[in-house]
Structures are given as structure tokens and as C-alpha cells.
């Protein structure tokens, strides 16, 4: 009996890890770090952790440009921090010294939280035909989450049971679109109404292990869709980054592989017989 797709993908991932892989790259465009809408300059430092990708403006900037903040979004502002430098004279040495005082102000995403304003971001899009087998996997996911396809962020939101993935035209390579969407679909199988995995919080061990499961599962779905040759290297490098956070314990690959297989089987509604007979 031939090897299952699961075994084949796991072996390919391990082979890539053993020979060393290139750094992971974010495969979609139109996803630069959060920027000031008016100047298009990216925010820096801690602000990269405070706001997701998008174009942001203050209330004053929005109103001056003729825009409006949506009523339901007014309380959902984001905080941007900047440092106000001040100068004082040291009483003992009479030397002039400077110190920085943190100041914050509130901003809103002009594309999602406002009306009357247009994006200033230069859009780069690509024309792709759907990949039939990959679309079949997505469309046949039983009891699946809801989907949105807004630029800039790929994420699964457990409390909303919702996936957002940048649209296919934002990806240079269509296979990477499906790999990205598959990753979030695997996350969604962990919802309490499905396989009830523990997601953890960013930076902790449970979160890191869940990322391994999601990327292993995405690689398996790519294998089933016949597109893994275009995505396996990036998957391996993404997995490597999380293994490093877990002290490079390669045994975790096999644990993640087992969890990922359960997730893939849920999406595909595989019977036990189907799982045994799946072969290359």
C-alpha cells in the first residue's frame, strides 16, 4: 500500500527542515505595516503591535478630509504612541538634557471604520484562475466558519468563528492564496463546536503548537489539492520559525502532524476507510 498524503507531506517538511530552508515570507501584497493614511508613512516601534495592517487617521484628519467615523465604530478606536521630546536644564551641572515623554492619540482605520475617504495605498493585483480541487476543498468544508476577503490580514477569529484572508488577486502565486486560506481553515477546526483544541495566547507554548498544527494541516491540504510543490518550502520555513520558539524539538512535528490530520479529516469529512486508502 502506498504512503498516505499525510505521510508524504510530513516527510517533505522534515526533509526541508533538515537541509535548511529560506526565511518565511508573507505571500500577499497590499499588506504593509499600519500606516498613517494622510502621509502613508508606516508606524514604528510598539505601534506595530498595537494596530493591525491598515490606513489610519485621527479624528481631526478624518473630519478635515470630509470623512466621518461610523457611529458603531467610534468606541473602537486604536491607540498610536509617539514620544514627545522635552529639554530641561540640570540644576547641578547646568547642562541641557532631553527626555522623552510618551503621548498617545486615537486613530481609526479609514477603510473599515470610516465613510467618505478613499485609500491612498497603491494597489498591486494579479489575475488568477481558481484552482478547481482547492476550491472544492473550501466549498465542501462541513459546518465551516464564515469568510471575509479583506486585504492586509490573514486570521481566524475564534470568538466570531470567522476567517479573513486577503483576496486571491493580492497573491503573486495563486497556490499561496490557497495555502494561506487552508492555514486559517485548519485553525477553525479547533473551534469548540468542532474539534475543540486549545488555542493559547500569542507567545505561549499552546499558541506555538497550534501554529504548527495549522501549517502542517495547510501543507496536507495543499498536497491533496496537488499544489504542495509551490508551497512546501514556505510552509517548512514557517514551521521552522515556530519550532525555534519551542527549542527546535522536531518530535513536535509528529504530534502536530497527528493533530493536523484530524483537522484535515474533519474538513474533508473523511471516513476511516478514506483515510487508510489515501495515497499518492
249 and 227, same structural domain? yes
Contact by Cβ (8 Å): 22, 236: no
Distance, CA of 21 to CA of 238 (rounded, Å): 9
pLDDT at 188: 98
Last residue of a domain, one of 83, 115, 147: 115
Mean pLDDT of 62-72: 96
The angle formed by the CA atoms of residues 104, 152 and 202, to the nearest 5 degrees, is: 65
Distance, CA of 75 to CA of 65 (rounded, Å): 20
Instruction: Specify the number of domains making up the chain.
Output: 2
Query: Residue 238 falls within a domain, yes or no?
Result: yes
Average pLDDT, the chain: 85
Query: Residue 214 falls within a domain, yes or no?
Result: yes
pLDDT at 117: 95
131 and 94, same structural domain? no
pLDDT at 132: 96
Report whether pLDDT(192) > 90: yes
The dihedral built from the CA positions of residue 43, 47, 52 and 55, taken in this order, carries a sign that is: negative
pLDDT band at 33 (very low <50, low <70, confident <90, very high): low
96 and 18, same structural domain? no
Domain that holds residue 72: 35-115
Q: What is the Cβ-side half-sphere exposure of residue 157, based on CA atoms within 13 angstroms?
A: 11
Query: Residue 144 falls within a domain, yes or no?
Result: yes
95 and 55, same structural domain? yes
pLDDT band at 177 (very low <50, low <70, confident <90, very high): very high
Phi, psi of 61 (to 5 degrees): -65, -40
Query: Residue 255 falls within a domain, yes or no?
Result: yes
130 and 253, same structural domain? yes
Report whether pLDDT(279) > 70: no
What is the pTM assigned to this prediction? 0.68
User: And the C-alpha cell for 114?
Assistant: 470610516
pLDDT band at 49 (very low <50, low <70, confident <90, very high): low
96 and 158, same structural domain? no
Amino acid at each position: 500500500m502506498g504512503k498516505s498524503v499525510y505521510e508524504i507531506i510530513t516527510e517533505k517538511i522534515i526533509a526541508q527542515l533538515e537541509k535548511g530552508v529560506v526565511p518565511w515570507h508573507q505571500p500577499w501584497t497590499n499588506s504593509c505595516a499600519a500606516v498613517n493614511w494622510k502621509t502613508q508613512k508606516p508606524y514604528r516601534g510598539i505601534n506595530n503591535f498595537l494596530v493591525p495592517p491598515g490606513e489610519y487617521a485621527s479624528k481631526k484628519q478624518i473630519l478635515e478630509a470630509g470623512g466621518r467615523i461610523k457611529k458603531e465604530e467610534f468606541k473602537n478606536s486604536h491607540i498610536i504612541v509617539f514620544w514627545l521630546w522635552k529639554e530641561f536644564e540640570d540644576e547641578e551641572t547646568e547642562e541641557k538634557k532631553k527626555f522623552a515623554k510618551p503621548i498617545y492619540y486615537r486613530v481609526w482605520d479609514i477603510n473599515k471604520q470610516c465613510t467618505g475617504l478613499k485609500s491612498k495605498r497603491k494597489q498591486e493585483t494579479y489575475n488568477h484562475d481558481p484552482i478547481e480541487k482547492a476550491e472544492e476543498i473550501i466549498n465542501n468544508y462541513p459546518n465551516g466558519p464564515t469568510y471575509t476577503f479583506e486585504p492586509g490580514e490573514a486570521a481566524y477569529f475564534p470568538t466570531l468563528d470567522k476567517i479573513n484572508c486577503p483576496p486571491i488577486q493580492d497573491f503573486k502565486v495563486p497556490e499561496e492564496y490557497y495555502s494561506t486560506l487552508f492555514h486559517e481553515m485548519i485553525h477553525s477546526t479547533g473551534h469548540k463546536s468542532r474539534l475543540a483544541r486549545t488555542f493559547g495566547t500569542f507567545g505561549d507554548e499552546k499558541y506555538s503548537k497550534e501554529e504548527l498544527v495549522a501549517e502542517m494541516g495547510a501543507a496536507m491540504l495543499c498536497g491533496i489539492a496537488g499544489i504542495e510543490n509551490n508551497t512546501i518550502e514556505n510552509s517548512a520555513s514557517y514551521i521552522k520559525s515556530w519550532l525555534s520558539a519551542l527549542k527546535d524539538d522536531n518530535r513536535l512535528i509528529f504530534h502536530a502532524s497527528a493533530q493536523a490530520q484530524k483537522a484535515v479529516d474533519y474538513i474533508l469529512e473523511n471516513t476511516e476507510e478514506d483515510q487508510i486508502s489515501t495515497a499518492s
